[in-house]
Amino acid sequence: MPKRLKIGDVFAVPLPNGTAGYVQYVADDASMLDSYVIRVFRGVYDLAGPLDIAEVVSLEVAFYAHVFLKVCVMHGFWKNVGNAPVPDRIEVLFRGCWDDGNPDVKVSRRWYVWRINEPFQEIGTLSPTYEKAEIGSVLPPQSIVERMVTGRYTLGQPL
């Protein structure tokens, strides 16, 4: 059983060719199933190389995501490599759609956005203002790795 997870924990995420990326657990989001929120850092490192956690958490953030963090750790997908302070305020906007999974809807007019632990704000059609908001679904570890490697998700398609 993995040790108790704490906000600030940093994890090594194995990537192809013996490399790793790093993520940090930064918040719990009561707005999205009380799920774990991570920030994913840009950069790829040698999985066996030395690690400076302070350097890792100072890297540019590539994206934020909601994840099944306990699953990632319990099954050994990600390794806890330490803990570091997190920013006082996480400035990220998430988006979701009430029509997700409905094959009959080609263009939804039922979008919503939110910030961590804040209520959903109904926005209707997804305007350009909100297109850059992060996908708010709680994602499995494979989806996080996929975006770290390719820069995008292929949600709803086999990995």
19-51: pLDDT as tens digits: 999 999 999 999 999 999 999 999 899 888 888
d(CA 73, CA 16): 18
100 CB neighbour count, 10 Å cutoff = 13
Cβ neighbours around 66 below 10 Å, total: 24
Q: How would residue 159 be classed by pLDDT, with cut points 50, 70 and 90?
A: very low
Q: Please state, in angstroms and rounded to a whole number, the distance separating the CA atoms of residues 143 and 15.
A: 12
Of the candidates 62, 4, 58, which has an alpha carbon nearest to the alpha carbon of residue 36? 4
pLDDT in tens, 47-82: 888 889 999 999 999 999 999 999 999 999 999 999
pLDDT for 90 equals 94
pLDDT of residue 156: 54
Of the pLDDT bands very low, low, confident and very high (cuts 50, 70, 90), residue 102 is confident
User: In the prediction, which pLDDT does 158 show?
Assistant: 43
pLDDT averaged over the chain?
91
pLDDT tens digit string along 113-128?
999 999 999 999 999 9
User: Could you write out the three-class secondary structure of 35-75?
Assistant: EEEEEEECCCEECCCCCCHHHHHCCCEEEEEEECHHHHHHC
Q: In the prediction, which pLDDT does 101 show?
A: 74
pLDDT higher than 70, residue 1: no
The answer, yes or no, to whether residue 3 has pLDDT greater than 90, is no
> Six-digit token pair at 96?
């979701």
